[in-house]
Amino acid sequence: MHISGTGLMLYTSFSIFSKEFGHLLAAFYCSSFGLCVLFLSAHFFYRYTAVCSPRFLRMLDGLKVFRLLIPVVFLGLVMFLDICWFGEPTDFKSEYLRESLKKEYNDDSFKVGQIAAVFYTHSPSGSLQIFWKDCIGMLIVWIILFFSISSIIYFAVNTFRTVYHHTKLRKSKKNCEIHRQLFHTLIVQSLIPTFILFLPTGFLLTLPFFDVKEVGRIANTPGFGACFYPALDALTAIIMIKDFRHAFFCCCRPRIPRVRVSSIPESMFTHLHS
């Protein structure tokens, strides 16, 4: 991703793709990031249901769990079509970002498949020219991401409260310890996407509106975080939950072959000496 001034561009420079296919590929990449956040929201909703309202789990039993995918797929499709619409490359956008893209990545903005947006410019006379199509398209992206992230925060906070309340009520030392581990795991699993996905993305998407001249390659941070998040989420549970941790290290530990010693009945010794 490239950000310069009041414009941004996400592009692919692979020569095997045409510019038209590269445009669709870049739009799919952006919408897949939105899908990642939407799936995370559905994941936290399921956790919330299991912990706070377990009586409703029957509505998600078996194949019914795919009901969770309906809003995810719908909003993901809306986001893809929206990005294809407002991110359509034009000669004006390519020219606006041409010099900065050449300087930063040594690529030609007229030859790469891309999605691009320029939100406003200042004319030589000093008047402000706003490009409403790009602004409205970005607003739709913000609304979808805001809805997803807000729902994650809501479900996470209520799940934390319920688990913490159960931890206080448990008289069994073992159950109390399990709930404590789950509580700490949920906290860390919520903080990880916040700091490697949500905050960097929200910050970068607002920069063009402040006419930031030089962002550099730090604009690729969200893509980097999206690659590592699934592994970090699972690794958190493995490290912080005691039973998972023991099972993991037992699997990693080299196995020592065991020698079986069979017992010989006493009657056999009597038979041999007779």
Please write the tens of the pLDDT for every residue from 221-249: 877 777 788 788 888 888 888 877 888 77
What is the structure's pLDDT at 163?
74
CA–CA distance, 108 with 256 (Å, rounded to integer) = 59
The stretch 2-15 carries a mean pLDDT of 83
Per-residue pLDDT at 254: 61
For residue 5 the two structure tokens come to 């001034």
Neighbours of 45 (CB within 10 A): 18
Rounded Cα gap, residues 239 and 190, in angstroms: 15
Does 205 fall in a domain? Answer: yes
Report pLDDT digits (tens) over 28-39: 988 888 888 898
pLDDT of 52 over the 90 cut: no
Q: Cβ of 171: how many Cβ atoms within 10 Å?
A: 6
Residues 172-210: tens digit of each pLDDT: 667 667 777 877 887 788 788 888 888 888 888 888 888
Task: Report if residue 263 sits inside a domain.
Answer: no
- pLDDT number for residue 15: 60
In a domain, 146, yes or no: yes
CATH (domain of 209): 1.20.1070
Residue 269 lies in a domain: no
Where residue 116 falls among pLDDT bands split at 50, 70, 90?
very high
| Residue span of the structural domain in which 163 resides | 2-251
What local confidence, expressed as pLDDT, does residue 70 receive? 92
- For residue 264, is it within any domain? no
- Asked whether residue 259 is domain-assigned, the answer is no
Cα separation of 263 and 245, whole Å? 36
Question: How many whole angstroms separate alpha carbon 201 and alpha carbon 218?
Answer: 11
Average pLDDT over residues 15-21: 75
Q: Which is nearest to 144 in space by CA: 94, 79, 207?
A: 79
Q: Cα(141)–Cα(86) distance, rounded to whole angstroms?
A: 11
Q: At what angle do helices 69-86 and 132-169 cross, to 10 degrees?
A: 150
Between CA 65 and CA 77 the distance in angstroms is 20
Phi, psi of 118 (to 5 degrees): -125, 120
260 within domain boundaries: no
Domains in the chain: how many in total?
1
Tell me what percent of the residues of the chain surpass a pLDDT of 70: 86
- For CA atoms 217, 223, 225, 227, the dihedral sign is negative
Residue 90 lies in a domain: yes
pLDDT at 121 over 50: yes
Which pTM value belongs to this model?
Answer: 0.78
pLDDT higher for 192 or 269? 192
